Amino acid sequence: MAEPSKTNEAGAVSEAEAVAAIDAPIQRGEPILQVRNLQKHFPLTQGILFKKQVGAVKAVDGVSFDLYQGETLGIVGESGCGKSTVAKLLMNLERATAGEVFYKGQDITKLSGRALKAVRRNIQMVFQDPYTSLNPRMTVGDIIGETFDIHPEVAPKGDRRRKVQELLDVVGLNPEYINRYPHQFSGGQRQRIGIARGLALNPEIIICDEPVSALDVSVQAQVVNLMEKLQDEFNLSYIFIAHDLSIVRHISDRVGVMYLGKMAEIGTDVQIYDHPTHPYTQALLSAVPVPDPEARANRERIILTGDVPSPANPPSGCRFRTRCWKAQDKCATEVPVLAVPERFRGLDTPAAHQSACHFAEEKDVVHAS
């Protein structure tokens, strides 16, 4: 794994150098994005004119992972686990409280101005709700074309209409729809428009925050297929955030499982789905309703008790311990680190992947026994 360049730590890189670094090409198989100990704490305040901080919601509390060129990294977790906040931090829509996100050696959490704009050209986002992510008062042509107004260097003025129509064609929409407004489209079509907007700048990374969860089942498959097709065509790297574990498995090369602002387990799709070692992953997988009543009957189900604790006041030690059936005293005092568990270290088994549990143990919950 390439270490991020040291120059920027001194903060001495000029804006021009940063832009040059960002625009440079990258090899397939290299980490394109390195996330290190990312944190986001939302302050809880009291008072009207003079605000006083009374606590913090630790939405993201020390998340690290790499994204490789051309791969899809899935991030799964329940509501409130911080997965959407991670997306916002990676897009610089929220400022990180601490931690770094290295993109081609540049820590993008500290960039601004021209350098940040250059990063935005290469990292784009597809939003969850196709009904709210398109400005209802702009035509489809304006929505996609706006990207070229903001980054005029990408497409010369006279060429923009043609480019927009090309993009519509790429995502499978009729290019003649360019003058229509979002409310004239169905949910699936709107999500295609959102994807076209994300593609307009020809980015390297697209962060997808629940891109299909608002769509009908029959349309979900269309959009997932489209995203896979585009990935091959444009050599994109995806971060695919979702709560639907089946879809994440389908599209991802590697998967990270988040719980209460921390990464619980991360590995390839086979490692996570077929050889999970973290109890939370196991419970999550076993709870997924499977559209096959017979396989269902043979599967072991782990039903967790209780709800996810509040991120404003997370449990000490391991955050999952309040719902974990394996929890012992150690779990309350010692925070488990995200690493290959000791018992699997050096072994050539799919269970040897990073898992933040003191008592990591392999358990297949997906396949009928």
Map the footprint of another protein across residues 197-226, applying CB under 8 A. Answer: 197, 201, 216-222, 224-226
Beta carbons of 177 and 171 less than 8 angstroms apart? no
Q: Is 206 or 331 the residue whose CB approaches another protein more closely? A: 206
Q: Which long-range contacts (CB under 8 A, 24 or more apart) does 214-223 make?
A: 214/128, 214/129, 214/130, 214/131, 214/187, 215/130, 215/187, 215/188, 215/191, 216/187, 216/188, 219/186, 219/187, 219/188, 220/247, 222/172, 222/188, 223/188, 223/191, 223/192, 223/195
Alpha carbon 264 to its chain centroid, in Å, reads 15
Side chain identity at residue 134, one-letter code:
L
Among the listed ranges 52-60, 67-75, 242-250, 334-342, the one in contact with another protein (CB under 8 A) is: 242-250
Nearer to another protein, 98 or 287 (CB): 287
Restricting to residues 127-156, which ones interact with another protein according to CB under 8 A?
127-129, 132-139, 146-147, 149-151
Site string for another protein, 23-52 (x = CB under 8 A): -------------------------xx---
Contact with another protein (CB under 8 A) among 40, 58, 192, 353: 192
For the chain, state the CA radius of gyration.
Answer: 22
Q: Which is nearer to another protein, 9 or 292 (CB)?
A: 292
State the Cα–Cα distance between residues 324 and 346, nearest whole angstrom. Answer: 27
Nearer to another protein, 9 or 59 (CB): 59
Give me the sign of the Cα torsion angle 162, 164, 168, 170: positive
Distance separating alpha carbons of residues 258 and 280, to the nearest angstrom: 9
d(CA 149, CA 296): 52
Distances (CA, A) of 237 to 71, 128, 161, 184: 5, 18, 27, 31
Binding piece for another protein, criterion CB under 8 A, among 9-17, 287-295, 334-342, 349-357? 287-295
Look at phi and psi of residue 314 and say left if phi exceeds 0, alpha if psi is from -120 to 50, else beta: beta
Stretch that binds another protein, among 17-25, 35-43, 194-202, 343-351 (CB under 8 A): 194-202
Q: Which is nearer to another protein, 196 or 266 (CB)?
A: 196
Confirm or reject binding of residue 269 to another protein (CB under 8 A): yes
CA dihedral in degrees (188, 229, 31, 100; nearest 10)?
-10
Tell whether residue 369 is a contact of another protein (CB under 8 A): no
Q: Applying CB under 8 A, which of residues 238, 273, 320, 344 lies at the interface with another protein?
A: 273
**Cross-strand partners of 40:** 60
Nearer residue to another protein within complex by CB, 182 or 341: 182
Among 35, 60, 171, 208, binds another protein (CB under 8 A): 171
Q: How far is the CB of 303 from another protein (least distance, A)?
A: 5
Tell me if 282 sits within 8 A of 326, measured CB to CB: no
Give the binding-site size for another protein (rule: CB under 8 A). 93
CB of residue 131 to another protein, shortest distance in Å: 9
Under rule CB under 8 A, residue 184 binds another protein: yes
Q: How far is the CB of 341 from another protein (least distance, A)?
A: 23
Minimum CB–partner distance for residue 59 and another protein (Å): 16
Q: Which stretch, 5-13, 16-24, 174-182, 355-363, contacts another protein (CB under 8 A)?
A: 174-182
Q: Tell me whether residue 8 or residue 122 sits nearer to another protein (CB atom).
A: 122
Least distance between another protein and beta carbon 96 (Å): 16
Residues from 316 through 345 that contact another protein (CB under 8 A): none
Name the segment binding another protein (CB under 8 A); options: 8-16, 36-44, 245-253, 349-357.
245-253
**Listed ranges 1-9, 28-36, 125-133, 338-346: which one lies at the site for another protein (CB under 8 A):** 125-133
Q: Which of 208, 183, 197 is nearest to 131 (CA)?
A: 183
Q: Please, which of residues 53-112 interact with another protein by CB under 8 A?
A: 78-79, 88, 91, 93
